Amino acid sequence: MASDDSYLRSLSSLSCGLLDGLCQAEDEEEFSAEEQLPEPEEEAPESEEEEDFAPRVVKPVSTPTPKKRVAVSRDAIETFKEHLRKGLAVTKHCSNGKTKPRVLFCDDACSKLGWQKPNGTPAKNTDLLPLRSVVEIRAGVEIDKQGSREDPKGRTLMGTPTLRKCIDGTSARRVFSFIFRDRTLDLEFSTEEECRRNLRLFKVLVAEASK
């Protein structure tokens, strides 16, 4: 029997190989996921108490950077669903700061998520999580708005409390989290590209499940 590591590598390679090239150019778009780019800071307003002879400098008003729209084709979505039904190799981050290799899968309708051990045995939590209950899908490098507001040190926090226990600057671009009202599901992928692709595709599945 192949080792857990070999099983994970084979699953990851299969997912990456078949999904590469299926995210189409925008003119072929059927579905799109939006990635918010950082907005530039606005210039401080000029003081109104300037001397009459002082020249006024009119500064241009900065406008928000538009959202980057990434097209996802129907073929990419259907292929992703097939892979998800069979299982995707992931690293699951736990609330105690530990990580575990897991296989992420969905039900036949691709409306619920579950996970199991690489050898196929059930994990501790066998309940499937409905995608329609997802409040947000947050990348590891995205701001945790609520956490930042509540931080006693006034810091800007990224990701989720679980991810902040066990990721560094390098791995932060390989993780994202499903935010539910009562928990998070925090996942890490083998590469940044795989993480970005799966993030876009899961956003489409969540949108479909919420209809």
Report the CATH number at residue 97: 2.30.29.30
What is the spatial distance between Cα 204 and Cα 189, in angstroms, rounded to a whole number?
A: 18
Domain-located, residue 42: no
Residue numbers of the domain that contains 76 = 4-36+65-209
Domain-located, residue 165: yes
Residue 35 has pLDDT above 80, yes or no: no
Phi-psi region of 194 (alpha: psi -120 to 50; beta: other; left: phi over 0): alpha
Please give the model's pTM, rounded to 2 decimal places: 0.68
Site of tokens 């990580």: 99
Q: What is the mean pLDDT of residues 50-79?
A: 60
Domain count for the chain, please give it. Answer: 1
Greater model confidence, 40 or 159: 159
Residue 202 has pLDDT above 70, yes or no: yes
Domain-located, residue 59: no
The dihedral built from the CA positions of residue 128, 133, 136 and 137, taken in this order, carries a sign that is: positive
Domain-located, residue 153: yes
Q: What is the mean pLDDT of residues 45-72?
A: 49
Domain-located, residue 51: no
Domain-located, residue 183: yes
Domain-located, residue 53: no
Q: How high is the pLDDT of residue 23?
A: 46
Domain-located, residue 192: yes
